[in-house]
Structure 1
Amino acid sequence: MPEDGGPVWKVGELARRTGLTVRTLHHYEQVGLLRPAARTAAGHRLYGAADVRRLYQVVALRELGLPLDVIGILLAGEADIAERLAEHLALVEQRLVRLRSLRSRLAALVATAESTGSTAPADLLGLIEEVVRMQDVINNYFSEEQLALLEERRRALGEDAIAAAEAEWPELIAKVQAEMDAGTDPADPRVRALAGRWMGLLEAFHGGDDGLRESLFTMYAENSEQINRDSGGPSPDMIAYISRANAAD
């Protein structure tokens, strides 16, 4: 048990509470970033409050775009939690400003297009500028190495496979929504099968790379409402439902 005698979490519980995967937590342990404070007699990992604080620093530094080896060096120097929180807050506020600006511009252009049937070139130029700025937001979620890896995966998969996966998402989302509406337990075999396919489609995106998976989940978590509104993506409740189905293994 942790020396402070405080609350403890098993690896599965910690994964559910944080939204990370068990595999990611194991990976952090393998590279020396997060080691469980103790183990049960049966060998199950136990994480304490100090581990949670360290895990937050790892997640915050990853979001700031730092690779895991650099994070390890920083944490070896006892990185300050207050400083990490302040940096994280500044990054989130920066993203919010950009998203709100783009949303306002798009809403104004939609209203103009609906009322007049056209938009002025100057307005479109402004929108292009805003979209280009949004690329900076993407760069905040994915490092240059990750973007290069995504491009490699895109070429390896081929446009046909990518198009097929994109076309499957709406049907899969509709099936999951139907089970949610019916009140089906996430542990039901039907839901678990849907969750398995869900994770398979995500796997096609991140290829099992822990960093890409985390960046994808973080980007969605912080922009879920816009993604849902603009492209019919899954709601946060649906993501939680699928997570419970996967945890039922």
Structure 2
Amino acid sequence: MARFTGLTVRTLHHYEDVGVVVPSRRTASGHRLYDERDLRRLYRVVALRDLGLSLESIRTLLADEVDLAGLLRDQLDHVRRRLSALRALRTRLSTLVDTADSAGDIASTDLLALIEEVSQMEETFANYFSQDQRARLEQRREERGQRVIDAEIAEWPQLIARVQDEMDAGTDPSDPRVRPLARRWTELLESFHGGDEGLRDSLYRMQRENSETIRERHGGPSPEMIAFIERANAAD
């Protein structure tokens, strides 16, 4: 049976011990004998294991004690949560690697401080965006491509600086010089939320409630600058 299925003898013995696949008979010398029904059951166990189900869940399932569809839905939710966590970890690691690469030889104390800062950012982000929203954002990231996203991120400091220059010069928000800046500001925001009202509202709420931290640590816009852009868009 081990040779036929590709499983190890130890695995077959373990399946018997936990009661998911018990051989129908034994020889006089104690060797296990599996019939066709045992083989079909074993294939079911292997298929369910491939879906990530535990042996205990499989045992009760094959005894017709649980609902298969409900069990699979629960497993799908579990997999989605794991994927979301892995995507968040991948984003965090990518940020750390990019920073370390650009900085060259980075001291361990500086790297630990950077890891702490990125973790805090991730925690703050999770407080405002649901798991489903974070999954949609990750899907948008994959669809749009990292190169496009990196270019837009790099554009923000330049755009913020240009808007600040106009504010410092006392330019009226309705001035024709400001309107293209305001339109580009809106385009960059829309590239993030993709027109999804829930994502947009979560983004705006996070900005409002953390504006000082975002401005100090990441060079984000001030509330006055955001109000300036809103007036410019209203006048367009």
Alignment of 1:148-167 (within 5 A): 148-167=135-154
Letter in 2 for 1:155: E
Inter-CA distance 190–140: structure 2 relative to 1 (3 Å threshold): same
Q: Which of 131, 151, 169 pairs up with 1:182?
A: 169
Indicate whether 1:201 and 2:188 are aligned. yes
Q: Which runs of 4+ in 1 moved over 6 A?
A: none
Q: Equivalent residue for 2:35?
A: none
Letter in 2 for 1:220: Q
Q: Equivalent residue for 1:171?
A: 158
In structure 2, runs of 5+ residues without a counterpart are 1-105
Q: SS of the counterpart of 2:182?
A: helix
Inter-CA distance 138–186: structure 2 relative to 1 (3 Å threshold): same
| Alpha-carbon distance in structure 2 between the residues aligned to 1:241 and 1:222 | 18
Letter in 2 for 1:172: L
- How many pairs does the alignment contain? 131
Q: SS of the counterpart of 2:162?
A: helix
Indicate whether 1:137 and 2:128 are aligned. no
Higher radius of gyration, 1 or 2: 2
1:94-138 per-residue CA deviation (whole Å, 9 max, x = no partner) reads xxxxxxxxxxxxxxxxxxxxxxx96669x94x9857854654432
TM-align CA RMSD? 2.5
Letter in 1 for 2:235: A
| Alpha-carbon distance in structure 1 between the residues aligned to 2:207 and 2:123 | 16
Q: Equivalent residue for 2:226?
A: 239
Inter-CA distance 214–237: structure 2 relative to 1 (3 Å threshold): same
| Alpha-carbon distance in structure 2 between the residues aligned to 1:242 and 1:200 | 12
Q: Equivalent residue for 1:218?
A: 205
TM-score (norm 2): 0.50
Inter-CA distance 246–129: structure 2 relative to 1 (3 Å threshold): closer
Q: Specify which structure has the bigger relative contact order, considering alpha-carbon pairs within 8 angstroms and separated by 6 or more residues.
A: 1
| Alpha-carbon distance in structure 1 between the residues aligned to 2:137 and 2:125 | 13
TM-score (norm 1): 0.48
Letter in 1 for 2:194: G
Q: Which of 192, 196, 207 pairs up with 2:179?
A: 192
Q: SS of the counterpart of 2:210?
A: helix
Q: Equivalent residue for 1:12?
A: none
Q: Equivalent residue for 2:96?
A: none
